[in-house]
A and B are shown apart, each in its own frame.
Chain A
Amino acid sequence: MKQHKSKSQGLAYKRLPRRALILGGLQAAFVGGLAARMRFMQVDQADEYRLLAEENRINIRLIPPTRGRIYDRNGQIIGQNSQSYRIVIVREDAGDIDKVIAKLSDLIPLTQDEIERAKAEMRRSAPFLPVTLADQVTWEDISKVAVNAPALPGVTPEVGMAREYPRYEDFAHVVGYVGPVSDYDLSQIEDPEPVLRIPRFQIGKVGLEAKQEISLRGKAGAKRVEVNATGRVMRELDRQEGETGADLQLSVDADLQQYAQARLAGESAAAVVIDCETGDIRAISSAPSFDPNLFVRGISVADYRTLTQDKYRPLANKTVQGTYPPGSTFKMVTALAALEAGVIGPGNTVYCPGHLKVGSRRFHCWKRGGHGTVDLGLSLKRSCDVYYYDVALRTGIDNISEMARKLGLGVRHDIPMSAVAAGLAPNQEWKRRVHGEEWLVGDTANASIGQGFMLASPLQLAVMTARIATGRAVSPRLVRSVDGVEQPTGAGEPLEINPYNLDQIRKAMFSVSNDRRGTAYRSRIIEDEFRMAGKTGTSQVRNITKAERAAGVIRNEDLPWERRDHALFVSFAPYDNPKYAIAVVVEHGGGGSKAAAPVARDIMLQALYNGTPPLDAYPVADRERIKEQQKRLEGDRRPKARPDEKDRA
């Protein structure tokens, strides 16, 4: 009965197989769809997804390259990489970070700044990544941390490389320093290399370090590592070593540089010694200087303020960046221009009454009474101004300016240092362009004695002297070799100047230093082999008013420092066979013969003898004083090098 009923259910019962097949069909269609989708993803698009999987899995980690070292010409180290210790903390191992840091700061000095920075970094980065807590940690502090390791979970000392400048102040302006890449640095570089984005990666900030950054930096290596989804490294797949940066050898002699730096100490001054044969810069000192190591570590605000507020401007590189009116040291240029232009000959004379009326203005000679009748030799030896006013007016500023450029003034020399100044050797066209005014004869008179618009850096003055000494277009060379590859020398082609005229000038410069009435006679070298030829210069930094002149010129010593004259001296030696040319500028030092010439002579002798010169080379009267000075400078120099550095040297 029931069975019958069940059979007679009829419509709905008959529907069941049909509906089951419809539903089954739908399911089959869906399964087919899934299969098709699977085929599309796994067969048609497999390569694409495979690539994505690889990208997921493989991370490229950069291996920072070792920076190239910097040597002096004799192989003494100027810039190197030394081991530095830092303390890192791994968040996931540390557990309670605050507690660990508190314990750590009981052991070693940690600034609140460092702690805050580290904490901020830890919040940002993955828990297993080490975060630097303290950098440049001393060995003692590292030992303390190591001994207490069990109490400091997650804290480990690490060894890294840090730039070190074992010559301290001596090369601060030449080599500069390195520092961590800043956002500003990155914004300045187009398409920066990925290695620059490594946190705390150090690049050259100033000086040679910055200018030769690319060759010093080297090439970053890379390792391919497999990472998991959280970025933790599972294993290293392969590794491609980078290239160490190129080692640079400078033309500078570190010992001479050190001497020059010590000799200039106490003044705001600059000295440049150039090898006349090769253009090698043997010494390029700017005083006062600073310790570049401070900047590598991150200079404190107080230290930095001390440096910036010093009126002697220790951060400024006076050798290439500082430009000064060359004063009487420019007279060789004026004289050469006149000789080349045929305006004067050796026999021509000018009468100097102590002044010359140019236009409506009276131009004074430094000597009130005048020099009387003056020829070329006498004009240089006694540094007569009127002679040059007169000769320059006949030669014309454009000829003088052209000669200045020929001798390396008013042009930017290509050496890898920061802020190399071009100086200024003006002509008529320049004044029209820049000042929008006509060139006046008074301007020519000013320019003839290296005043007015004329500006030159100590480097340019040294180049000028070397060119006069050799007659060749000597150009300065700072980097002698890169990774052992000798760089082209700066010997230069012969200048298009009549050798006879050049000889005239040299002779006159010789008399400046060696004639009893020469302005630099007191700072001569008496060793015959090494006779020096030079020229003093005293450049005004203010105008002398008529009233002042009438009242008698005020002596430099009575003026406040910043209003005193700049003292300059340029020279080359030996006279017969020029080896070195030197330029010394002592800011607000007073007279060139008094403040600059002795310094130049001392440095020159040091260079010529390649070490401390014998007292015989000095004039008899000076020997006692020089002896004391030598002793004092030795004393000054010694504590600069650390004991272990001394051994290496």
Chain B
Amino acid sequence: MSYLEYAVKSTPSGFRKFLYMNWPLTLLLISTASAGFLMLYSVAGGSWLPWAEPQMERFGLGLTVMFIIALVPIWFWRNMSVVAYLGSIALLIFVELFGTIGMGAQRWIDLGFMRLQPSEVMKVTLVMLLAAYYDWLPSYKTSRPLWVVIPVILILVPTFMVLRQPDLGTSILLLAAGGGLMFLAGVHWAYFAAVIAAVVGLIATVFNSRGTEWQLLKDYQFRRIDTFLDPSTDPLGAGYHITQSKIALGSGGWNGRGFMQGTQSRLNFLPEKHTDFIFTTLAEEFGFVGGITLLTLYGLILIFCLVTALSTKDRFSSLVTLGIALNFFLFFAVNMSMVMGLAPVVGVPLPMVSYGGSAMLVLMAAFGIVQSAHIHRPR
């Protein structure tokens, strides 16, 4: 488990590491973030303040963090996994006790220059820990119940803590990323089938109990679920945002209404237009072409991660890269589904584009690990 197991001699060192970085990935990240700056400039009514400029500064910081992390050998990060995970748990406890309340949920630790969301950090550290776990675990034990229960606990602990904040979106992402990593690690598919069957069965049971004498939830809880799943039943309340968002998106048409010409965002019909709903502004102003372009950028990022993961012989590197890619995918998939009215509204930002410090920094740090895995891959 030491770095000796790699053919160190073939690994670049010093500044040569830069040459061995995954530059296409870096360029993709810069492009995506630039699209974000453009949109933040637009939603501010053609102004670099209050969003675009701080976002650029943070992206610069993020880029630096990525490079630093990338230069550090990947095995160091593997060895740090447990510490990182425990540190994240500590942060979650801290935020539970002293966190700043925003949007009705306890999420932040105010660091002065930025607000840190421990749940964002947790997404990456969870993936790191699970990757390290499966790197350490002998292959034949992977599907043994005891060795399956351990990672499940590792996933569920932070999930419940995040759920308590309450932040449903992030906890679902944690659950999905953790589950995905276990799937990648080769845990027997029967476990997944069992869990999926159990969840589907539970949901079916709960819904079928509605209106019978053994009803499992109160009526108002059912109504809340209804609105959550189908916001159009409450067009001026929960459904308002999603309706306006769909209008903005749809009205973009093929080419969009032109940069800074989106009426929906310009006139404040869009909620959270600089954060969770920024994609609608992009789709309104640049149309289908703009939307597909961003989607393609995301797709390419995924592909480069997949290539990196498959080209390394190091199990930790593969798993952690795929896990981070999965996280990234879940980010934009949930966000886009939400703004297109395919999924209920949960507060998930659009990665690299939405305004927000900690999400971007954490993502850049995560990509730093991906870069590190790429640079330090055994050759």
Residues in chain A within 8 A of chain B (CB atoms) = 2-3, 6, 9-13, 15-17, 19-20, 23-24, 27-28, 30-31, 34-35, 37-39, 41-43, 45-46, 48-50, 52-54, 56-57, 226-230, 234
Contact = CB atoms under 8 A, between A and B. Distances in A.
Contacts of A30: 329, 333
Contacts of B113: none
B252 interface: yes
Interface of B: 1-2, 4-5, 134, 138-140, 142, 180, 183-186, 244, 246-254, 263-264, 267-269, 283, 287-288, 291-292, 295, 298-299, 302, 306, 309-310, 313, 315, 318-319, 322, 326, 329, 333, 336-337, 340, 342
Contacts of A56: 244, 247, 263-264, 267, 269
Which 10 pairs across A and B sit closest by C-beta, in order of nearness?
A: A49-B250, A12-B186, A15-B186, A12-B139, A53-B251, A46-B253, A9-B139, A228-B267, A42-B288, A49-B251
B140 A52 contact: no
A37 B246 CA distance: 11
A50 B283 CA distance: 13
A31 B298 contact: yes
Nearest to B247: A52
B246 A20 contact: no
Contacts of A229: 244, 267-269
Contacts of A43: 253-254, 288
Contacts of A31: 295, 298-299, 302, 333
B288 A39 contact: yes
A330 B302 CA distance: 105
Contact of A50 (B183, B186, B250): B250
A318 B339 CA distance: 70
A20 B306 contact: yes
Q: Chain B binding site: helix, strand, loop or mixed by DSSP? A: helix
B263 A35 contact: no
B319 to A, nearest CB: 8
A19 B267 contact: no
B292 A38 contact: yes
A6 B291 CA distance: 43
A423 B341 CA distance: 70
A230 B268 contact: yes
B343 to A, nearest CB: 11
Contact of A34 (B134, B183, B295): B295
11 contacts: A10-B140, A12-B139, A28-B299, A38-B288, A42-B254, A42-B291, A43-B253, A49-B246, A52-B250, A54-B263, A56-B244
B342 A37 contact: yes
Nearest to B298: A31
A19 B183 contact: yes
Contacts of B5: 2-3, 6
A234 B185 CA distance: 56
Contacts of B250: 41-42, 45-46, 48-50, 52-53
A283 B292 CA distance: 80
A56 B340 CA distance: 18
A38 B267 contact: no
A4 to B, nearest CB: 9
B14 to A, nearest CB: 25
Contacts of B295: 31, 34-35, 38
Given A34-B336, A37-B342, A42 B283 contact: yes
Nearest to B250: A49
A34 B337 contact: yes
A48 B249 CA distance: 11
A228 B268 contact: yes
Contacts of A227: 267
Contact of B310 (A13, A20, A226): A20
Given A28-B299, A43-B288, A56-B264, A34 B269 contact: no
B140 A20 contact: no
Find the residue from A6, A17, A45 having the highest chain B CB count within 10 A: A6
B247 A53 contact: yes
A38 B279 CA distance: 11
Contacts of A46: 250-254
A157 B59 CA distance: 52
A11 to B, nearest CB: 6
A24 B306 CA distance: 8
Nearest to A4: B5
A6 B317 CA distance: 13
A345 B7 CA distance: 146
Given A19-B184, A57-B267, 11 more contacts: A6-B5, A10-B140, A12-B142, A12-B185, A23-B180, A31-B295, A41-B249, A43-B254, A46-B250, A46-B253, A228-B268
